[in-house]
Amino acid sequence: MKDYHMWIGGAPCEAASGARFTSTNPYTREEWARFPRASADDVDHAVRSAHAAFTDGDWPTWTASARGAALVRLAALVTEHADRLAEIEVRDNGKLFAEMSNQARYMANWYAYYGGLADKVEGLVPPIDKPGVLNMVTYEPLGVCALITPWNSPLLLLAWKLAPALAAGNTVVIKPSEYTSASTLELMALVEEAGIPAGVVNVVTGFGDEAGMPLVTHPLVRKVAFTGGEAAGRAINEAAARDFKKVTLELGGKSPNIVFDDADLDAAVPGAISGIFAASGQTCIAGSRLLLHDGIYDAFLERLLEMTRAAKLGDPMEADTNISPVATEAQHRKILDYIEIAKAEGATCVLGGKAASPGGAPGYFVEPTIFTDVRNDMRIAQEEVFGPVLSIMPFSDEDEAVAIANDVLYGLAAGVWTNDLHRALSMSRRLQAGTIWVNTYRSTSYTTPFGGYKLSGLGRENGSQAIMEYLQPKSVWLAEPRAVANPFIRR
Ligand SMILES: NC(=O)C1=CN([C@@H]2O[C@H](COP(=O)(O)OP(=O)(O)OC[C@H]3O[C@@H](n4cnc5c(N)ncnc54)[C@H](O)[C@@H]3O)[C@@H](O)[C@H]2O)C=CC1
Ligand SMILES: CCCCCC(=O)O
């Protein structure tokens, strides 16, 4: 059993209470690591360390270029340690090593990109409209930022927050998911090696109600960046509003993957599988509703079933495994419950539909599951399962596809498969989602804004504008001192 420590003020740290919790490997169901179970006192210690580093340390004296250079060094270190970080994430969330090692390498780009952006935040200086006055606009960091992350892609979704936050000159307190705390703590050694001063980056480990909420409500925290479920997102947003903290929320989705009758099925069938069965469906952008044009419905379904049946369930560390266990026992139960709800609602389970134990493995496996005869008003079509469960619905024309696709409370992403440029443009305009993929699915990038419409979130991450979520403009008016004729009226 590996014992981890929190990271506060540049030093390893236990919880004041001495309490600890454990992490379970989803493939073996064995406990493998222990973590301090932080409470409000520990959170206060971390926030005050971050605040001291923001106000009194040498971090505020660093130039934007120096901050950027440190982030570029961190990018190189992340790349160097990618496989080790990925293996730790797999041990915590059970996702395929092949996916997590690619992801670990890819996330280095966020640190390099925002490192490059750090000294390029410029704004137009407004024209002077008052004689004898020079005015300037500067962009200043917010202060202490709370970064709260989930278990499905801990380090990638942390990078989306940590990179712009540091590039902008803030200090942070990170609260990783209680299911996947290890990789974030392992990253701290690389943050230190990159030369980022003690106290600038702090990590508290523990549970949402015991550590997460005290972090959100701490008076010295000025910004909360959160990725996770809708319930937690709503609670966080309401709490943060009490003292007007800035908030960005990346929440869930119920994304449609729409295949027209002119689509290239050689690409669309694997595209549908990538959308729902990659990461065992544990991603906010999962294409969990598959809309098939009547003209290709049967042919598509036949090919989809054939390709999915060939998927190998097994050890996430093995290169030939396609489907690994889901991350937690709670998630495993939630997904199986939704499968029973779908059956009870009258959907037809044409593949999968139950837990699995490939080769006798004890992991939290769920068979890749496909439902047909789904109506869009069913819970299985309206609610986020966050697992390998696909709902298929037919449509006859573009208007019907748009009506089904938009008739959910979420609006995170959507896929459209067609070779008709006009239809691609029309669908991209009409679909209510923050990301539209045409003839591809699940692409995200450090260069491209990501975020949701409706209940899928608040604000955007990624892209050059995302750094503005971690800055605040300050206008400075410089005037020669002179007496005004009548101080009782504003000229
Ligand atoms: N959008 C996404 O990428 C993700 C969505 N989800 C969805 O959320 C559902 C619940 O999954 P969970 O792991 O329980 O996610 P969660 O949303 O409860 O937890 C995510 C993070 O927020 C923290 N947290 C939870 N409640 C909090 C609160 N009141 N104040 C401050 N921090 C809080 C957790 O400790 C964790 O670090 C999943 O079934 C899935 O549907 C889960 C993970 C990622
Ligand atoms: C919001 C996009 C998340 C990308 C990593 C994942 O699929 O978990």
- Can you tell me the ipTM of this complex? 0.95
pLDDT score recorded for residue 472:
97
pLDDT score recorded for residue 287:
98
- Where do we find the tokens 């539209």? 436
Residue pair 458/126 in contact (Cβ under 8 Å)? The answer is no
Q: Each residue of 389-432: pLDDT tens digit?
A: 999 999 999 999 999 999 999 999 999 999 999 999 999 999 99
Q: Which residue of 89, 152, 435, 446 sits with most ligand 2 atoms within 8 Å of its CB, as the best mutation to test the pocket?
A: 152
Residue pair 190/77 in contact (Cβ under 8 Å)? The answer is yes
Q: Is the pLDDT of residue 74 over 80?
A: yes
Minimal-distance CA residue to ligand 2 atom 7: 283
CA of 126 to the centre of ligand 2 (A): 39
Looking at residues 32-54, what average pLDDT do you find? 98
Q: How confident is the model at residue 483 (pLDDT cuts 50, 70, 90)?
A: confident
Residues with CB under 6 A from ligand 1: 148-152, 175-178, 207-209, 212-213, 216, 227-229, 232, 235-236, 250-252, 284, 331, 334, 384, 386
Integer angstrom CA distances of residue 407 from 33, 371, 391, 431, 435? 43, 19, 14, 10, 16
pLDDT score recorded for residue 221:
98
Looking at residues 92-117, what average pLDDT do you find? 98
pLDDT score recorded for residue 139:
94
Minimal-distance CA residue to ligand 1 atom 37: 177
CA of 293 to the centre of ligand 2 (A): 27
372 lines ligand 2 (CB under 6 A): no
pLDDT score recorded for residue 416:
98
**Which is catalytic among the residues 210, 250, 398, 461?**
250
Q: Each residue of 119-164: pLDDT tens digit?
A: 999 887 878 778 888 888 999 999 999 999 999 999 999 999 999 9
- Where do we find the tokens 């899928």? 456
156 lines ligand 2 (CB under 6 A): yes
Q: Which residue of 178, 227, 254, 454 sits with most ligand 1 atoms within 8 Å of its CB, as the best mutation to test the pocket?
A: 227
456 lines ligand 2 (CB under 6 A): no
Average pLDDT, the chain: 97
CA of 132 to the centre of ligand 2 (A): 53
pLDDT score recorded for residue 128:
78
Q: Each residue of 294-344: pLDDT tens digit?
A: 999 999 999 999 999 999 999 999 999 999 999 999 999 999 999 999 999
Q: How far apart are CA 88 and CA 197, in angstroms?
A: 25
Residue pair 125/135 in contact (Cβ under 8 Å)? The answer is yes
Sorted by where each starts, the structural domains of the chain and their CATH numbers stand as 2-251+456-475 (3.40.605.10), 256-438 (3.40.309.10)
Looking at residues 278-289, what average pLDDT do you find? 98
- Nearest ligand to the C-alpha of residue 156? 2
Q: How far apart are CA 64 and CA 212, in angstroms?
A: 30
pTM: 0.97
pLDDT score recorded for residue 371:
98
Q: Each residue of 198-232: pLDDT tens digit?
A: 999 999 999 999 999 999 999 999 999 999 999 99
Beta strands 348-351 and 256-259, pairing class: unpaired
pLDDT score recorded for residue 357:
97
Looking at residues 246-264, what average pLDDT do you find? 98
280 lines ligand 2 (CB under 6 A): no
- Nearest ligand to the C-alpha of residue 231? 1
Q: Is the pLDDT of residue 491 over 80?
A: no
144 lines ligand 2 (CB under 6 A): no
Q: Could you count the other beta carbons within 10 Å of the beta carbon of residue 179?
A: 21
Q: Which residue of 37, 47, 148 sits with most ligand 1 atoms within 8 Å of its CB, as the best mutation to test the pocket?
A: 148
pLDDT score recorded for residue 134:
86
pLDDT score recorded for residue 116:
98
93 lines ligand 2 (CB under 6 A): no
Q: Each residue of 370-393: pLDDT tens digit?
A: 999 999 999 999 999 999 999 999
170 lines ligand 2 (CB under 6 A): no
CA of 285 to the centre of ligand 2 (A): 7
250 is catalytic: yes
Long-range contacts of 475-479 (CB under 8 A, 24+ apart): 475/126, 475/135, 475/136, 475/137, 476/135, 476/136, 476/137, 476/138, 477/130, 477/133, 477/134, 477/135, 478/133, 478/134, 478/135, 478/136, 479/130, 479/132, 479/133, 479/134
CA of 156 to the centre of ligand 2 (A): 8
CA of 153 to the centre of ligand 2 (A): 6
Name which of 276, 254, 282 is nearest 376 in CA terms: 254
Looking at residues 450-457, what average pLDDT do you find? 98
